[in-house]
Structure 1
Amino acid sequence: MSYFMNNIMGESIDEPDEEGIREVLAELWDADSEHFDVSLVHESGWSLSVYPDKNLVWENVNEDEVRPRDLTLDSWQGVVDVLLKLSRGEISTLNSLDWHES
């Protein structure tokens, strides 16, 4: 399975491991009004965007009929866990979370 992560400046990092994911997430502490999220995109088209308040937006960038959904998590470890699930292609597990339509 292939995936990449976009850092806060929009630069792509191919298949970061857990430490690399944590490093990209740490950039959110320097978020500003122009650069305010990071994302992980799986080869299936499913994507998770992450914001400084631990809000996640779940969407499929290849399917216009799939509406984006969001969820705010309680911890950064929870955010890392969800990103790792997407990196492994665990789409059905992620779809079963309690998402809210954006």
Structure 2
Amino acid sequence: MTYFMYDVHGNAVDEPDAAARRTLIVDGLADPEAVNPEVSLTHESGWSLTAYAGGLLLWENVEEEGTAAPETRDGVSVDEVVRVFDLLAEGEVEKVGGTF
């Protein structure tokens, strides 16, 4: 499985481990000087999660046309963001989709 993340400064990070993902999410979303107020993880399947400061979470397939429309959840805790990002990094697409 391959995946990559974008941090709040727009930098791509290839396949960060669980500790690095947590740091990118927790520290990034709390950074008041962030260039972009979001972090994202895109899996090789095309499925992507984007978490915004304030608790908005976006789930979408960025590669396949005709897939379901993007879905959102609001008021998501940072711990829940870390949990679903970990699931997607592990390729658990159906489990992530089931949370929306």
Give the shorter-chain TM-score range: 0.7 to 0.9
SS at match of 2:30: helix
* Residues 40 and 23 (structure 1), Cα distance of their counterparts in 2 relative to 1, 3 Å cut: same
Quick one: structure 1 residues 76 and 82, their matched pair in 2 at CA, closer, same or farther if it must change by over 3 Å?
Answer: same
Residue 15 (1) aligns with residue 25 (2) = no
Quote the RMSD (CA, aligned, Å). Answer: 1.7
Contact 1:8 1:37 in 2 (8 A): yes
Check the 8 A contact 2:8/2:35 in 1, yes or no: no
Q: Which runs of 5+ in 2 are unaligned?
A: none
User: Per-residue deviation at 1:82?
Assistant: 0.3
- Cα-to-partner distance string for 1:2-49 (whole Å, 9 max, x where unaligned): 001100111111111121112211112225685111100000000000
Output the TM-score relative to the length of structure 1. 0.85
Q: Which residue of 1 aligns with 2:55?
A: 54
1:59-93: per-residue Cα shift (whole Å, max 9, x none)?
00012323110113542211111000000110111
Classify 1:33/1:13 alpha carbon distance in 2 versus 1 (closer, same or farther; 3 Å): closer
| Percentage of matched positions with identical amino acids | 38
Q: Name the count of aligned residue pairs.
A: 98
Aligned pairs for 1:1-102 within 5 A: 1-25=1-25, 26-31=27-32, 35-65=36-66, 66-97=68-99, 99=100
Find the residue that maps to 1:30 and give its secondary structure.
coil
Which 5+ residue runs of structure 1 have no aligned equivalent? none
CA distance in 2, matches of 1:14, 1:33: 20
